[in-house]
Structure 1
Amino acid sequence: MSEPAQAQDTSAETPWPLSTYSGKLKAHIEAAPPTWVEGQLVEFNLRNGNAWMTLRDLEQEVSFSTVAWRAVAGSLNGTVQPGSRVVALVKPNLYEKSGRLSLVAQQMKPVGLGDLLARIEQLKQRLAAEGLFRVDRKKPLPVLPLRIGLITGRNSDAKKDILRNTHARWAAAQFEIREVATQGPSAPQEVAAALAQLDADADVEVIVIARGGGALEEVVLPFSDERLIRAVAAAHTPVVSAIGHEADRPLLDEVADMRASTPTGAAKLLVVDEAQERDQLTHARERMSAGVERLIGRETEWLTALRSRPVLAQPQDMITGRAQELLMLRRRSLFGMETAVRRGTDWVAQTRARVRSLSPQSTLDRGYAVVQTQADVGWEVLRDAATVSPGDQLSIMVASGELTARAEEIYPKDRRAAPAEQAATALETPQTAQTPNREAAP
């Protein structure tokens, strides 16, 4: 019976022999194209002209057995060694008898420092284009953090420097320390993990990533890892970079919220100088006291000058002056009222005199009389003598009282002057006639 041609055609009744499966797996694996990979050599042995090596990932615990045959191995002797960082063009190979997978190196060359720095520069430009290094993304540091997170090497000098200098500036400073690898392939991953722990701690208000000086590949490379840079950019807590010396500029310095040139210099950024602050407080209190004293002195002088003014020194003068003014105003008011009353009185008297002069009683008082005659509807004023007949009854109103009379004779209008003259003569005649009588009386 023939074997199934495809893996999906196999079954419990028609299985593949293990050798068939191994052969097909070998053919499938070896069909993969050559690939450039990067790693670190942890073993390098030359035997019979061939190079037997172990290539490990730079960050993860992943390794492959690698072999370089004679044609390639000859060019590797003296150029690579255990611990070297290399790039290699490899092709997978499956040894059928043991089922062991390995890599066959067709080319291999060490990664020089220049190549690494060129990669870092490319990464820097790419991250800068994304905006990870923008100034407006950087968070301000707290003036006096409640707790300081410190990520540094195990029992490192950087840790001792930061603790010593920070406590010398501010004795009450508290730290939350995470000791991790600060060099080697695992350093970026461990630092990023410690950063995540401290960033999640609500009491930690600032995080310092510190490492002392060293070789360029030990200082710059681990702290220019892309995953670490992105972790720092995503952190909610302000991050201070204190890596190496002034000349060392890993990408961590670019993305951190604050850069310290050295771990010692980080202490100046984390806390204020307690002694200096106390001196400034003392000087501030002295300036405030002097300012308050000057203010009190000026206000005292102002109050003294204010009290010396007449209005406050002798306030009764103001009342006396106002009393005199009121007295004068009162006199003027009374004089004005008296004048107005006198004028009003005079006017009333004059008006009364004019009214009296026009009243009928005044006319009667001068000797005139009002004569009325009997009419059909009552008494009416007599204006024409021709309207009265002899014997008609008349009513005569004089200045004081009334009397009745009877008409005896009626005189025409043209004889009005004669009776008047006769009346005037009559008024004079008794005086002349009475004189002889008084003389003849004895």
Structure 2
Amino acid sequence: MAMQSSPDTPKALGEVVRAVKGWVERCGQVWVQAQVIEMRRTRGATQFLTLRDVNDEVSASVTISSAVLDSAGPLSQGMTVSALVRPTVWAKSGRLSFECAELRIAGEGQLLAMLEQRKRLLQAEGLFAPERKKRLPFMPRVIGVVTGQNTAAEKDVVTNILGRWPAARLDVRHALVQGPKAAAEVMQQLAVLDSDPLVDVIIIARGGGSLEDLLPFSDEGLVRAVAAARTPVVTAIGHEPDTPIVDLAADLRASTPTDAAKRVVPDAREESERVQQALARIRQAIVAKVGQEQQQLTQLTSRPVMRDPGGSLEVHDERLQMLRMRLERAAEQTVTQHQTSLAHDLSRVRAMSPKATLERGYAILADGEGNSVTSIAEVDLDDDVMAYLSDGKLTLSITGIDDPTGNLSATMDDFGFDDPDEN
């Protein structure tokens, strides 16, 4: 019912806003379908969303409690939702808003939420851990391929592998890649290839498609089979933006089937060029090394000792001759010194010998037993003594003995001996 007013009898703004608020809130709750274009979380109990009509340029602000928002599952921008809302007007600002009492993810968004929940559970088990992933061989003996029969993905993988490495061996296994039986058939062919000891790498390939078309490659059983495979697995599912869960469990994710072919085999032309470049570098290194060694050899041979090896010996020979002459002179001097010293010692010995004394006219007396007689007290009258002279000996008989206390010097003069004190 319209409010009566005029320029003379205007209504208060607050009264009008409260009236509008009452009219709007009489609409009650209604389920609406819309797309989430903005989501603003706060630390409080109330959260804020902006919803937009799926087919029209109409948007509205929505307040929702944290409990209701969390119960809806993982929500992100762009998802389509069904919301039980009640329109209301903020009295202070007069702004129209909606209060959401229940929220459900609808359509593709619901499917994405389910896949997100499955992804989190498998990730919590460690199936996507980097340390579980195996390295691809440089040149696989046999390349296993699981793909749809006569599909563009099969053609891309086979053509690019053989184009890059014509000698490559392929074992292609066909399976459904879409529909409820697809995951089971892919798992079956994967097990066959994984059990073959000659297969060194396996490619699972499929072309692009909608989220529902790629749903088999997010199957929990297939994801676990890929994670448990003995052979390294490369996935090439859909296009670059597509990321089914099996990509996270694979040892390598390729953006497209063509990219997968580039990842599993090297390019023969590129490898040939690398070999030629390596050979050229080796030859260059050998030539440089030989030149360096030749230069060093030339420097060595240019040294005087190499031009005349005996030249250095001449210097040492001259020094050796000089040392030899000095040694000979030193030896001669030493011998001469020792000869002179020996002659002096011999002269002193001869001068001190008894024979020299005898030659000077002295005699040595000995009794009958051969003992030296040095005193008159050692002989008696009529004893025989031997007198040793320089040229022989005499046998003498004692006929008289002078008194020892007598004039000894006179007695010695009588026998022709020199006085010892004078000598």
Determine if the TM-score, normalized by the shorter chain, exceeds 0.5: yes
The corresponding residue for 2:142 is: 147
382-391 or 232-241, larger mean C-alpha shift: 382-391
What is the alpha-carbon distance in structure 2 between the residues aligned to residue 262 and residue 226 of structure 1?
Answer: 22
Out of 374, 388, 409, the position equivalent to 1:397 is 388
Q: CA deviation at 1:164?
A: 1.3
The corresponding residue for 1:335 is: 329
197-206 or 346-355, larger mean C-alpha shift: 346-355
- Larger Cα-atom Rg: 1
CA deviation map 1:257-291 (0-9, x unaligned):
00001111111101111111111221221122111
The corresponding residue for 1:245 is: 239
Q: Does 1:204 align with 2:231?
A: no
What is the alpha-carbon distance in structure 2 between the residues aligned to residue 181 and residue 392 of structure 1?
Answer: 157
CA deviation map 1:81-121 (0-9, x unaligned):
xxxxxxxxxxxxxxxxxxxxxxxxxxxxxx83322221111
Letter in 1 for 2:407: R
The corresponding residue for 2:133 is: 138
Which secondary structure does the structure 2 equivalent of 1:128 belong to?
Answer: helix
Which secondary structure does the structure 2 equivalent of 1:217 belong to?
Answer: coil
What is the alpha-carbon distance in structure 1 between the residues aligned to residue 371 and residue 200 of structure 2?
Answer: 126
Q: Does 1:118 align with 2:110?
A: no
CA deviation map 1:400-424 (0-9, x unaligned):
2101233444334432323455667
Out of 178, 189, 196, the position equivalent to 2:184 is 189
Q: Does 1:173 align with 2:176?
A: no
What is the alpha-carbon distance in structure 2 between the residues aligned to residue 159 and residue 380 of structure 1?
Answer: 140
Q: CA deviation at 1:394?
A: 3.1
Q: 1:187 to 1:360 in 2, by over 3 A?
A: same
Out of 222, 229, 232, the position equivalent to 1:235 is 229
What is the alpha-carbon distance in structure 2 between the residues aligned to residue 425 and residue 213 of structure 1?
Answer: 154
Q: Does 1:261 align with 2:252?
A: no
Q: 1:388 to 1:167 in 2, by over 3 A?
A: closer
394-403 or 413-422, larger mean C-alpha shift: 413-422
Higher helix proportion? 1
Q: Does 1:415 align with 2:407?
A: yes
The corresponding residue for 1:308 is: 302
Q: Is this contact kept in 1: 2:362–2:417, CA < 8 A?
A: no
CA deviation map 1:24-77 (0-9, x unaligned):
xxxxxxxxxxxxxxxxxxxxxxxxxxxxxxxxxxxxxxxxxxxxxxxxxxxxxx
What is the alpha-carbon distance in structure 2 between the residues aligned to residue 334 and residue 228 of structure 1?
Answer: 104
- Extract unaligned runs of 5+ from structure 1: 1-110, 427-442
226-235 or 331-340, larger mean C-alpha shift: 331-340
The corresponding residue for 2:124 is: 129
Query: Across the two proteins, how many residue pairs are aligned to each other?
Result: 313
Out of 152, 157, 160, the position equivalent to 2:155 is 160
TM-score (norm 1): 0.67
Q: CA deviation at 1:382?
A: 2.9
The corresponding residue for 1:344 is: 338
Q: CA deviation at 1:195?
A: 0.1
Letter in 1 for 2:166: A
Q: 1:167 to 1:405 in 2, by over 3 A?
A: same
Q: Is this contact kept in 1: 2:254–2:260, CA < 8 A?
A: yes
CA deviation map 1:143-189 (0-9, x unaligned):
11111101111100001111111222111111100111100000000
Letter in 1 for 2:243: R
The corresponding residue for 2:24 is: none
Q: Is this contact kept in 2: 1:386–1:410, CA < 8 A?
A: no
Taking only the aligned residue pairs, the percentage that are identical comes to 43
